[in-house]
């Protein structure tokens, strides 16, 4: 049974990361952010990348999201090699396949919640209605509000709505609760969990907060540019049960 | 900030350099003029008359306040120059037999003074000599009082009286077709039967003399000798033009630098407030360490002054260079023996002070804000910007907007004052460009009206004395003459109430086909059979309106004084004239069918033949060919016009570039995070460029029509400021000038947009996600 499930998932590999290395040159100092990482990410899966700052988790996420290039090794998305993609192909990849959620939300201050979502659906192929995306994150009553009129948690949920509205294959979240208090963070995580569950979007969440790992299918522990451990949660905790 | 500082300094360079160029050119010309006038004894009062005995001179010198008097014989002559088949006329002025004139002394550039006893020696004016390539020893023919004579050039000279050497009634200097010749008094008097007599006089005044009293007494004395009315330096033609030119330079020195310095102050204000807001945390830290408000304020003031000083230094250097260049261009028209170009320290200091003060005034608010910021508040990032839906969206048109367009218009609406100032700045660039092209358009229009609508003759022939109308048959008899129409020209003084003006009245035939009078809308009008029609500007000077009775004092013949009703007004851009029906004028003069000249249309094939016949006719004083006059006008103006257009283009380009670049840099610093976020979300470079440059594009497009309006208003102001009885500049701006202005603004805007766009391509997408705003 377990084996059958494993192979079914194996057929549905979203990302395949192999011997991924990233070296930054800062002045004359070389910083090895990733030292040869192997990892596969499956469709519909929720993964938490856990590690202290400087462990390489953001670098990995940026390469997965087509924002950064690898020094060595490769990453494929649905069989296509991202490390060989041109700037234009990467833009297209981000445009149609990836949803991003950032620590500082990165909303456009001059656009309302609805418009912040619409700015993405306008350029997507088969998007959902911006209103629906905002309803999923529980903000159907805040459509006309500008970022300056929303709380941090609400802003982050607008960011999630913006990320999912294009119906992306993967959702990449970089410290989505990093700027939020625990109660608000839970609301945001619930939104992510719901998207993952209901839409089946493969989700990667970066955090240095161990408690959040409880909601993941798999937890990838990074340290010093290497994967130190991959654990699987037999029972996923619902976000509302998480505390920090 | 470096790029912005550079752009702002560039605008200051423009402001300071225009200020320095205009002021220093004006000062230099003024200095040169004053020195030349002083060193060479430029007279203060001038008068022409028909003929007076030499001993009248003693009665004139007894007029209280008169210092030195010099009598002269002056005549207009026709010249015949080998290899130059077109008609040339000259003013022949006598030089006393002592060799040196007392007043209006000659600066001999080459050769020597005339030998007073030789009747074939002349000194010629420099411009005329240069135009024909004459040197001492060269010869040419002249018709002196009806007799042909070969004259030998012995010297080339300049005179304070003919700094601007313009034929009366001509539209500009024409060195090829009009010259000044100086000849010994005895020789000239003999030729014109003026022995022991004179027909022209100049004098100087002792200090604290009432000029008007002298003029009145002088007129009383010369009246019975056919005096044409005395006048002072103020009305002396060469000096008049110089004064007008100074007025023009002075106006330019007011208008253009004000625009540039204003724009620079605005740019500094925007740049400094942005710098202050990005440096909030540093300011807070410094304050926390114990720096006072004063220290912080002084820091920013120093920054402003540094940028301004860089601009001032560049502006002074460029201004001095342009100033001496402009001075040299003026020297082509205005013949001084030398140009004393000097950039006075006071001008440089004034330029620096004006720039620094305006810049500080412009930045006062932002510097104060920076200085007053409490440290704790400064530590926190600025609160997020508040946006709201724009007017367009509240009107219900929002559905039509894409999100990127929405971003553009909301950003503009959030800072309406900044947007307005940017638009104003760019529109001023456009306006300056229009003023650069305006002169050419106005001059083209003026020439068109004057020579194509109004005066359609090919040639104007004037006679030495009023002649019988029958002369027209003689003219028609010349081979190649197609049509001939006579005219009468009478020197007059027009008086209404206490105002008067010296000019001439032209009598033309009502059925004429060559000389049309145009009403104020430039439509041809018929000349009424009686009464006088005045140039509209002249009616303003005299304060008359149609229906009023005008006193006409004729300054010729029996010098009748008559009352004539004003029956209409006509438009004319050059000079001021009264017009009457020829027979009405003849009746007023109590003369028969007298005429002063003839307008001709000719077959161009026979033109040279016609000139030759005219030179040989003793009663013909001179011939002016319309085509030559227009050509020479353009030739003399071309360089100056090119200079102004070029300078205007560079300056307008600088402003447009400066304003757009500055706005672009600020937009980039305010919005790079937003744009990088959009790049991460999958927006292409082109799409974010649209958001970024769209705002600037929108501002630029809004600025262009506004610039057209401001430009037109500015041209109208300039035209108004420069109008005088010598000429009025029509406010005419051709579509080509508008297009060029728009093009220069667009190209400059695109250029600065592209430079900044280049930075967009290198946005650090990763860094922006890791930082708070």
Query: What does the longest C-alpha to C-alpha distance in chain B come to?
Result: 103
- Which residues of A are less than 8 Å from B687 in CB distance? 123
Task: Please count the structural domains in chain B.
Answer: 3
Judged by a CB distance cut-off of 8 A, whether residue B771 touches chain A is yes
Residues B116 and B215 in one domain: yes
CB contact under 8 A, B403 and A162: no
pLDDT per position as a tens digit, B16-51: 998 898 888 888 888 999 999 999 999 999 999 999
- Which residues of B are less than 8 Å from A118 in CB distance? 403
pLDDT per position as a tens digit, B532-558: 999 999 999 999 999 999 999 998 878
* Mean pLDDT value across residues B471-500: 92
Tokens standing for residue B199: 């027909």
pLDDT per position as a tens digit, A75-115: 999 989 998 899 889 999 999 999 999 888 889 988 999 99
Residues B631 and B750 in one domain: yes
Q: Is residue B210 part of a domain?
A: yes
Domain limits for position B410: 404-455+626-773
Judged by a CB distance cut-off of 8 A, whether residue A212 touches chain B is no
pLDDT per position as a tens digit, B674-704: 888 899 888 998 888 888 888 888 999 999 9
pLDDT per position as a tens digit, B704-760: 999 999 999 989 988 888 788 878 889 999 999 999 999 989 998 888 888 888 888
Q: Is residue B63 part of a domain?
A: yes
Contacts (Cβ under 8 Å, ≥6 apart) of A15: A39, A40, A41, A64, A75, A76, A77, A170
Rounded mean pLDDT of chain B?
A: 88
Q: Which of B171, B205, B240 is the last residue of a domain?
A: B240
Residues B196 and B63 in one domain: yes
pLDDT per position as a tens digit, B349-391: 988 998 898 888 888 888 887 777 777 776 666 666 778 777 7
* Mean pLDDT value across residues B609-635: 84
| DSSP-derived 3-state class of residue A214 | helix
CB contact under 8 A, B410 and A92: no
Q: Is residue B664 part of a domain?
A: yes
- Which residues of A are less than 8 Å from B680 in CB distance? 65, 67, 94, 100, 106
Residues B421 and B499 in one domain: no
Judged by a CB distance cut-off of 8 A, whether residue A147 touches chain B is yes
CB contact under 8 A, B682 and A118: no
Place of tokens 């004064």: B243
**d(Cα B542, Cα B525) in Å, to the nearest integer?**
22
User: How many other CB atoms are there within 10 angstroms of residue B646's CB atom?
Assistant: 11
Nearest to A177 by CA among A163, A165, A191: A191
Residues B503 and B563 in one domain: yes
**d(Cα B759, Cα B755) in Å, to the nearest integer?**
7
Residues B637 and B594 in one domain: no
**pTM attached to this predicted model:** 0.80
Q: What is the ipTM of this complex?
A: 0.87
Predicted confidence band of residue B134 (pLDDT cuts 50, 70, 90) = very high
Give the closest-approach CA distance of B267 to chain A in angstroms: 24
Closest Cβ–Cβ partner in A118, A123, A146 for B682: A123
Residues B487 and B450 in one domain: no
8-state DSSP, B136: T
Residue A210's φ and ψ, nearest 5 degrees, are -60, -35
- Which residues of B are less than 8 Å from A104 in CB distance? 769, 771-773
Residues B123 and B229 in one domain: yes
- What are the residue ranges in chain A where pLDDT is below 70? 1-11
Nearest to B697 by CA among B649, B652, B756: B756
Q: Is residue B233 part of a domain?
A: yes
Residues B429 and B517 in one domain: no
Closest Cβ–Cβ partner in B403, B414, B765 for A111: B403
Judged by a CB distance cut-off of 8 A, whether residue B580 touches chain A is no
Q: Is residue B335 part of a domain?
A: no
Tokens standing for residue B290: 């114990």
Q: Is residue B475 part of a domain?
A: no
Residues B580 and B537 in one domain: yes
Interface of B with A in 678-737 (CB under 8 A): 678-685, 687
Judged by a CB distance cut-off of 8 A, whether residue A154 touches chain B is no
CATH number, domain A44-68+86-238: 3.40.50.300
Q: Is residue B14 part of a domain?
A: no
CB contact under 8 A, B680 and A94: yes
Residue A1's pLDDT is what?
Answer: 41
Residues B647 and B768 in one domain: yes
Judged by a CB distance cut-off of 8 A, whether residue A65 touches chain B is yes
Q: Which of B189, B218, B240 is the last residue of a domain?
A: B240
Judged by a CB distance cut-off of 8 A, whether residue B399 touches chain A is no
- Which residues of A are less than 8 Å from B411 in CB distance? 110
Residues B577 and B660 in one domain: no
Question: Which secondary structure element, helix H or strand E, spans residue B608, and what is its range?
Answer: helix B607-616
Give the closest-approach CA distance of A58 to chain B in angstroms: 9
Judged by a CB distance cut-off of 8 A, whether residue A143 touches chain B is no
Q: Which of B568, B602, B636 is the last residue of a domain?
A: B602
CB contact under 8 A, A88 and B684: yes
Q: Is residue B520 part of a domain?
A: yes
Contacts (Cβ under 8 Å, ≥6 apart) of B242: B29, B33, B163, B164, B334
């Amino acid at each position: 049974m377990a084996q059958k499930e494993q192979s079914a998932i194996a057929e549905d590999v979203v990302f395949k990361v192999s011997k991924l290395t990233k070296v930054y040159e800062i002045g004359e100092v070389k910083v090895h952010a990733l030292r040869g990482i192997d990892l596969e990410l499956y469709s519909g899966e929720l993964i938490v990348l856990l590690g202290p700052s400087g462990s390489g988790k953001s670098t990995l996420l940026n390469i997965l999201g087509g924002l950064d290039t690898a020094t060595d090794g490769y990453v494929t998305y649905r069989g296509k090699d991202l490390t060989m993609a041109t700037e234009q192909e990467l833009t297209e990849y981000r445009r149609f396949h990836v949803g991003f959620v950032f620590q500082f939300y990165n909303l456009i201050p001059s656009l309302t919640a609805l418009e912040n979502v619409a700015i993405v659906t306008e350029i997507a192929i088969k998007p959902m209605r911006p209103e629906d995306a905002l309803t999923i994150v529980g903000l159907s009553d805040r459509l006309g509000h500008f970022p300056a009129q929303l709380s941090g948690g609400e802003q982050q949920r607008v960011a999630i709505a913006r990320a999912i509205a294009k119906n992306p294959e993967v959702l990449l979240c970089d410290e989505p609760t990093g700027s939020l208090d625990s109660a608000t963070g839970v609301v945001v995580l619930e939104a992510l969990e719901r998207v993952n569950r209901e839409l089946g979007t493969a989700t990667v969440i970066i955090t240095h907060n161990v408690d959040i790992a409880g909601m993941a299918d798999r937890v990838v522990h990074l340290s010093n540019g290497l994967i130190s451990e991959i654990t699987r949660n037999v029972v996923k905790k619902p976000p509302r049960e998480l505390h920090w | 900030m470096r790029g912005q500082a550079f752009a702002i300094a560039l605008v200051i360079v423009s402001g300071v350099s225009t200020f320095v160029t205009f002021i220093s050119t004006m000062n230099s010309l003024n200095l040169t003029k004053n020195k030349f006038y002083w060193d060479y004894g430029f007279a203060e009062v001038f008068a022409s008359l028909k003929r007076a005995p030499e001993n009248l001179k003693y009665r004139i010198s007894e007029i209280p306040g008169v210092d030195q008097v010099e009598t002269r014989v002056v005549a207009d002559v026709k010249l015949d120059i080998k290899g130059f088949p077109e008609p040339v006329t000259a003013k022949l002025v006598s030089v006393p037999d002592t060799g040196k004139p007392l007043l209006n002394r000659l600066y001999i550039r080459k050769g020597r003074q005339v030998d007073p006893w030789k009747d074939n020696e002349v000194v010629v004016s420099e411009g005329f000599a240069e135009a024909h390539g004459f040197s001492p020893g060269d010869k040419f023919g002249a018709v002196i009082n009806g007799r042909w004579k070969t004259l030998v050039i012995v010297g080339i000279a300049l005179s304070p009286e003919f700094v601007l050497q313009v034929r009366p009634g001509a539209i500009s200097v024409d060195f090829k077709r009009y010259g000044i010749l100086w000849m010994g008094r005895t020789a000239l008097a003999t030729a014109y039967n003026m022995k022991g007599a004179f027909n022209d006089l100049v004098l100087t005044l002792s200090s604290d003399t009432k000029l008007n009293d002298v003029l009145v007494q002088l007129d009383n004395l010369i009246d019975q000798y056919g005096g044409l009315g005395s006048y002072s330096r103020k009305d002396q033609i060469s000096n008049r033009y110089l004064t007008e030119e100074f007025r023009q330079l002075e106006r330019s020195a007011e208008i253009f630098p004000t625009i540039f310095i204003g724009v620079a102050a605005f740019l500094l204000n925007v740049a400094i407030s942005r710098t202050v807001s990005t440096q909030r945390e540093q300011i807070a830290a410094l304050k926390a360490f114990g720096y006072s408000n004063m220290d912080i304020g002084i820091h920013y003031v120093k920054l402003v002054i540094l940028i301004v000083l860089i601009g001032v230094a560049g502006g002074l250097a460029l201004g001095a260079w342009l100033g001496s260049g402009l001075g040299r261009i003026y020297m082509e028209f205005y013949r001084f023996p030398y140009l004393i170009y000097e950039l006075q320290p006071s001008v440089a200091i004034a330029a620096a002070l004006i720039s620094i003060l305006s810049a500080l005034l412009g930045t006062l608010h932002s510097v104060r804000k920076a200085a007053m910021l409490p440290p704790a508040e400064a530590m926190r990032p600025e609160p997020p910007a508040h946006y709201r839906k724009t007017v367009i969206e509240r009107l219900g048109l929002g559905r039509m907007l894409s999100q990127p367009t929405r971003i553009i218009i909301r950003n503009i609406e959030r800072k309406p004052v900044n947007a307005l100032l940017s638009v104003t700045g760019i529109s001023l660039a456009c306006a300056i460009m229009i003023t650069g092209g305006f002169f050419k358009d106005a001059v083209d229009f003026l020439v068109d009206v004057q020579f194509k609508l109004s005066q359609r003759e090919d040639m104007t022939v004037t006679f030495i004395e009023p002649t019988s109308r029958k002369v027209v048959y003689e003219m028609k008899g010349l081979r190649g003459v197609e049509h001939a129409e006579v005219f009468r020209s009478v020197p007059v003084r027009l008086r209404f109430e206490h105002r008067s003006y010296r000019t001439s009245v032209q009598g033309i035939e009502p059925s004429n086909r060559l000389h049309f009078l145009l009403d104020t809308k430039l439509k041809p009008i018929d000349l009424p059979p009686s009464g006088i029609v005045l140039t509209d500007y002249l009616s303003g000077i005299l304060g008359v309106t149609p229906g009023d009775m005008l006193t006409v004092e004729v300054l010729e013949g029996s010098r009748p004084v008559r009352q004539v009703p004003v029956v209409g007004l006509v438009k004319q851009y050059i000079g001021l004239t009264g017009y009457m029906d020829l027979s009405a004028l003849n009746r007023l003069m109590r003369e028969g069918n007298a005429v002063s000249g003839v307008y001709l249309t000719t077959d161009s094939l026979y033109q040279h033949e016609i000139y030759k016949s005219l030179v040989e006719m003793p009663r013909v004083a001179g011939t002016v060919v319309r085509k030559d006059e227009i050509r020479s006008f353009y030739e003399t103006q071309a360089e100056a016009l090119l200079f102004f257009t070029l300078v205007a283009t560079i300056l307008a380009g600088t402003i447009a570039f400066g304003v757009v670049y500055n706005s672009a840099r600020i937009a980039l610093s305010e919005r790079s995070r937003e744009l990088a976020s959009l790049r991460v979300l999958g927006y292409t470079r082109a799409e974010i460029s649209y958001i970024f440059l769209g705002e600037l594009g929108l501002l630029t497009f809004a600025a262009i029509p506004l610039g057209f309006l401001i430009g037109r208003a500015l041209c109208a102001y300039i035209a108004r400021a420069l109008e005088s009885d010598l000429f009025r500049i029509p406010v005419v701006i051709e579509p080509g000038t508008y297009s060029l202005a728009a093009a220069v603004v667009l190209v400059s805007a695109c250029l600065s947009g592209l430079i900044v766009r280049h930075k967009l391509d290198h946005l650090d997408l990763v860094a922006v996600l890791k930082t708070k705003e």
